Amino acid sequence: MADLTLDTQGVSCPLPILKAKKALADLESGQTLEVLASDPGSVKDFEAFCRTTGHRLLEQAASGETFRFVIERVG
Amino acid sequence: MADGVQANEKSMSIIVTKGTLDWAYPPFILATTAAAMDVKVTMFFTFYGVSLLKKDLDLSVTTLGNSAMEMPMMGGHMKMPNIMGIMPGMTALTSKMMKGMIKKKGVASIEELREGAQLGDVRLIACQMAMDLFEYDKTDLIDGLEFAGAATYMETALKADLNLYI
């Protein structure tokens, strides 16, 4: 169970990333954020976001039109 | 390090030269995304880009001269002939349609992205020369801006990892 869930379904790039960044800033190091998105571009975007910022992408899954990511805050 | 850039931090500068609705998106999307990815961003607004810093944004877009513009209509895409763009009221109509599409598809408004940029500590610089040229007053623009010239931009750009001209 993630510490916080962020639903960005219905909004387009770059809002899912911007909102996730903001949500992660409110978490402690080690806590997790679950992000729900409907933007297909978000799959590659969250991978790139995690690679660049150092936060860990623990899970990613797609079911129907919803994409789900679980990100662990690092640092 | 100068400009508040930390040792491992990447930095980016963007020169923003255009002020139409469509051209407002690339600089603000890139700036906010970069800021979200821990990049130190500087945006230098010059010429028509200064209008993106106005307190009350009323951005417009025209089909005139935009031969690449195809609007999604009735399941397909419709090209916009120039002759249509000349007609009175067309710019206002096109701008309204575009803003409607943007809202419907969940794309952020320029106001939202601009606010996001400021929250993300993006440095916003207004070109003093362009302000004098087009007679913009500081009071016409949003708060939190720096006012400077080309040399200020140049110093930042020379040190930045990525420089874009939009």
Q: What confidence tens digit (pLDDT) does each residue in A4-45 have?
A: 999 999 999 999 999 999 999 999 999 999 999 999 999 999
Instruction: For residue A53, give the nearest of B29, B38, B108 by CB distance.
Output: B38
Please tell me if residue B11 touches chain A, with a CB cutoff of 8 Å. no
Report CA torsion sign: A47, A51, A57, A59: positive
Residue with the two structure tokens 């513009």: B69
Q: How many CB atoms lie within 10 A of CB A68?
A: 15
Q: List the beta bridge partners of residue A34.
A: A5, A70
For A18, the closest of B36, B106, B107 (CB atoms) is B36
A15 touches chain B (CB under 8 A): yes
Contact B38, A20 (CB under 8 A): no
The 8 Å CB, 24+ separation contacts for B107-113 are B107/A11, B107/A12, B108/A11, B108/A12, B108/A14, B108/A15, B110/B21, B110/B24, B110/B25, B110/B28, B110/B52, B110/B57, B110/B59, B111/B57, B112/A15, B113/A14, B113/B25, B113/B28, B113/B29, B113/B32
A74 to chain B, any CB pair closer than 8 A? The answer is: no
**Per-residue model confidence (pLDDT) at position B2:** 45
Place B67 in a pLDDT band, splitting at 50, 70 and 90: confident
Q: What angle do CA B34, B36, B38 make, to 5 degrees?
A: 75
Cα gap B92→B60, rounded to integer Å: 7
Nearest CA in chain A to B109: A15
**Given CB atoms, is B29 within the 8 Å cutoff of chain A?**
yes
> How does strand B76-79 pair with strand B70-73?
antiparallel
| pLDDT tens figures, B85-142 | 899 999 999 999 999 999 999 999 999 999 999 999 999 999 999 999 999 999 999 9
A13 is catalytic: yes
Q: What angle do CA A54, A55, A60 make, to 5 degrees?
A: 125
Instruction: Give Cα B159 to chain centroid, integer Å.
Output: 22
Q: How sure is the predictor about B65, in pLDDT bands with cuts at 50, 70 and 90?
A: confident
Q: For all residues of chain A together, what is the average pLDDT?
A: 95
- Give how far B38 is from chain A: nearest CA, Å: 7
- Which one is catalytic: A9, A10, A12, A13? A13
